[in-house]
Structure 1
Amino acid sequence: MPDIGANDPDGLLAQFSPATAAAYNAYPLPVRKSAWADWKSKKDGGYTAAIVGMPPASAFVKVMLDTVRKELAAANVEIVADLAPDDPTNVPLQLQQFSQAVALKPDVIFFIPLAGEPSVDAVKSAGEAGIPVISLQSIVDSEYAVSVTGNSVLQAMNVGAGTLKAIGGKGNVLRVTGIPGISNELYAEEGFRNVLELCPEVSVAGEVTGFFEATTAQTATLQYLATNPAGVDGVLQSGTMGLGVLNAFQESGLEAPPIADIGATEGFASWAAQNGDYPYVGSTTPTVRQSQVSVDIALRILKGEGPKINQFVNNPFVVDRTNLEELVDPAWKTTDSTDLAGNPEMFFPDNVLKEFFNNPSS
């Protein structure tokens, strides 16, 4: 595991506990003071919100957006716009939709940016209009946004290191990438690259694209194995596609190698629990909890609790042989693509979340 350190030019993480600050190891963006640190909405209630998401091409995006809608309804927050582009690569359309949302003057915008850098100016326009932006899953380098996420680079480093350890630090691996060019894919690539640099006897034998969809990844992996029947020693996949990759090896009649199960599913974890010799390493994406926390953070900002920084980062929750058995329900089916929640309370537990605010409520 490389110790790259945090990108903290102003030393803002010094005000956090060591455990909380550790989540920023190799975090790809600088930590900045939040533009909302001393701000409070002029309203005491009756808040409105806009959602600018992405197409629910994967299960975790659908669950994330559905949970945001549910939590906003429970908090009596009216959704005045609920937009998403037609394709997960259509950044220009998403930015156009974001501008539409700003024009409606909601009290807060929930945003799943397809690409972080092109979104900076759009987020600034919202901030200058007095509208905080909550960025879910993907991150934005702007003091006007509060990005609520795990550290995708550190996550890939954790799971990648465990996977490469399982193959003895030598051999050939297959890379299964997500959507080319979007932030989450770029950060996974960076994390894997960091650990591969420490394993000079590991070579990347090939690469296929799964678009963060298990069925697409399964098809792409099957095609690769058809022309490389000897298989590979391990697989580094960028997220949510592990079960599809596993199915591809089984369908090809090959023994499944160690697969980095970022964005783990109940099905893969259940299969691993039933196969006690398999060196399972994965990490959870607690989608429901992440969405719940994002709405909580938005309401705290509106009420004037004052976020200290713009990047709310949680330490990745790693699942391996030390905790797999306790997390898996024996009733789960090995075909189930439901997210493995792990221990959802590990994602910004209340005592940690309070560290991020100047005036935290109870």
Structure 2
Amino acid sequence: MLSSHAGIAAELDEIPASEKAAYERIDPQVPLGISPLRNFKPKKGPPWKIGYASNYAGNGWRAAIMDEFVNKLLPQYKEAGLVSEVVVTQSELKDTVQIQQMRQMVDDGVDAIIICCSNVTAINQTIEYAYNKGVPVFSFSGYVTSPYAINVTENAAAGGYIAGKWLAEEIGGKGNVVLVSGIPGFATSDSFDIGAKDALAAFPDVKIVGNVAGNWTDQVAQVEVQKFLATNPQQIDGMLVQSSSENGVLNAVLQSGRPLMPIVLGGEASAACFWRKNPEFVSKSFHFWPPRADARMVWDVVMRTLQGQGPKVKSILRAALPYTIDDVKAALPEDCDLNSTDWLEPTGDNWAPSKVLGAFFDKPSDPLTWKP
């Protein structure tokens, strides 16, 4: 069951009042309360070496994240004299490998470590190891339960709830739904599913008739949904999908010969292109975890923390943003690519404005123009 403000009121004291709505329907495992890094001071001044201990590289979302870190943010902050390099490792979903890689990063002198979408508990001891060595760890697009980390993430449970409610209403409050999860056991995937099931529980005539793991990867999702549709002849009225799997799910349905049903879209340009060409397909879509905006958000928080700005809380959350067919038309040309690996991102700075992020710090300052 998801938590509401009433259940966590005491731990929301340090959350800016304008941002408390992002903490509605929160996964109760998400750490709240005072950040352990509120009075953090780095071991040395800039330029800092940042570690990115990635645990997966197999989809377009991860590629966009990497490009944003290495080719967009690093040059900016290098020119400003704040960052010297970004050290990247890949563990390919192996917790033991990620643990070893993170420990090696700490021993090799990184000043902070960024992780993404990890198992909520598996690397907690390693996060504590890093913390004790003066190296803060930041989890984005997913959370860890370690009291020593900072989570900078979307409220995935609330996102799942929004998606589930929208889909139930889109199919008229009744019908059979297939749930296409991300990677079971990982924070974002499990939280999203919790929220989605919570929403669907309010619609007794909507039934989840299948649940497959799409691994946040179109190719995997397409195969898994094709197998499900081939072996389950009952009518399917909606697909509740975690991005980045929606294009794979869409292709599986189109190739099955079944009538096209509403599918939850989460930002892939390929699926958005299909929507642009078929505007009656769905009524709206959502930015749940836009990759480049997510990367900029966690980077901002890392920089502010290293600069001694004083993060107030353990978890900085954002809420899903809806977008419409008009937004798609503004972002994609009429001859858009149905096989694009790009993403639609929130316009401008809408995902995590600097003013909003600054409100989570005791001594906020623009991290790019900050001077020691």
TM-score, normalised relative to structure 1: 0.91
Q: 1:247 to 1:187 in 2, by over 3 A?
A: same
CA positional deviation for 1:43? 2.7
State yes or no: 1:258 paired with 2:239. Answer: no
Residue 76 of structure 2: aligned partner: 74
Take 2:142 and 2:63, find their aligned partners in 1: how far apart are those partners? 15
CA positional deviation for 1:163? 0.9
1:263-342 matches, within 5 Å, as 264-284=267-287, 285-320=289-324, 323-342=327-346
Q: 1:13 to 1:57 in 2, by over 3 A?
A: farther
Residue 57 of structure 1: aligned partner: 58
CA positional deviation for 1:172? 0.5
Take 1:282 and 1:4, find their aligned partners in 2: how far apart are those partners? 24
Residue 222 of structure 1: aligned partner: 226
**Paired positions, count:** 357
Greater shift, 337-346 or 217-226, is seen at: 337-346
1:68-217 matches, within 5 Å, as 68-70=69-71, 71-76=73-78, 77-79=83-85, 81-85=87-91, 87-88=92-93, 90-217=94-221
Corresponding residue SS for 1:41? coil
Residue 24 of structure 1: aligned partner: 23
Take 1:146 and 1:237, find their aligned partners in 2: how far apart are those partners? 27
Greater shift, 35-44 or 60-69, is seen at: 35-44
Q: Percent identity?
A: 25
CA positional deviation for 1:343? 2.2
Residue 43 of structure 1: aligned partner: 44
Corresponding residue SS for 2:300? helix
| Alignment RMSD (CA, Å) | 2.2
Contact 1:149 1:314 in 2 (8 A): yes
| Residue-by-residue CA offset, 1:310-351 (whole Å, 9 max, x unaligned) | 211111112245755445443422232322213251111111
| Residue-by-residue CA offset, 1:127-182 (whole Å, 9 max, x unaligned) | 11111112121212234322221111111111221111001111111111222222
| Residue-by-residue CA offset, 1:11-58 (whole Å, 9 max, x unaligned) | 33455123x110111222131211121222253322122221122111
Corresponding residue SS for 1:8? helix
| Residue-by-residue CA offset, 1:73-126 (whole Å, 9 max, x unaligned) | 4322233742121x32x1122112112122223211112252021222211111
Take 1:138 and 1:11, find their aligned partners in 2: how far apart are those partners? 19
| Residue-by-residue CA offset, 1:206-229 (whole Å, 9 max, x unaligned) | 222221111111122122222234
Take 1:322 and 1:333, find their aligned partners in 2: how far apart are those partners? 17
| Residue-by-residue CA offset, 1:174-207 (whole Å, 9 max, x unaligned) | 1112222222221121011110111111111122
Greater shift, 287-296 or 122-131, is seen at: 287-296
Name stretches of at least 5 consecutive residues in structure 1 with no aligned partner: none
Q: 1:13 to 1:238 in 2, by over 3 A?
A: farther
Q: Which one-letter code corresponds to 2:151 in the other structure? A: S
Q: 1:3 to 1:53 in 2, by over 3 A?
A: closer
Greater shift, 330-339 or 2-11, is seen at: 2-11
Contact 1:177 1:238 in 2 (8 A): yes
Take 1:146 and 1:3, find their aligned partners in 2: how far apart are those partners? 20
Q: 1:142 to 1:197 in 2, by over 3 A?
A: same
Greater shift, 282-291 or 189-198, is seen at: 282-291
Q: Which one-letter code corresponds to 2:140 in the other structure? A: L
Corresponding residue SS for 2:240? strand
Q: 1:220 to 1:307 in 2, by over 3 A?
A: same
Greater shift, 122-131 or 142-151, is seen at: 142-151
Take 1:14 and 1:308, find their aligned partners in 2: how far apart are those partners? 6
Greater shift, 272-281 or 185-194, is seen at: 272-281
Q: Which one-letter code corresponds to 2:100 in the other structure? A: Q
Name stretches of at least 5 consecutive residues in structure 2 with no aligned partner: 367-372
Take 2:146 and 2:3, find their aligned partners in 1: how far apart are those partners? 25
Contact 1:7 1:27 in 2 (8 A): no
| Residue-by-residue CA offset, 1:277-305 (whole Å, 9 max, x unaligned) | 22244322321122122222212111111
Take 1:320 and 1:6, find their aligned partners in 2: how far apart are those partners? 32
Take 2:58 and 2:261, find their aligned partners in 1: how far apart are those partners? 27
CA positional deviation for 1:358? 0.4
Take 1:230 and 1:79, find their aligned partners in 2: how far apart are those partners? 53
Residue 12 of structure 2: aligned partner: 12
State yes or no: 1:350 paired with 2:354. Answer: yes
Contact 1:152 1:188 in 2 (8 A): yes
Q: 1:79 to 1:129 in 2, by over 3 A?
A: same
Take 2:353 and 2:102, find their aligned partners in 1: how far apart are those partners? 30
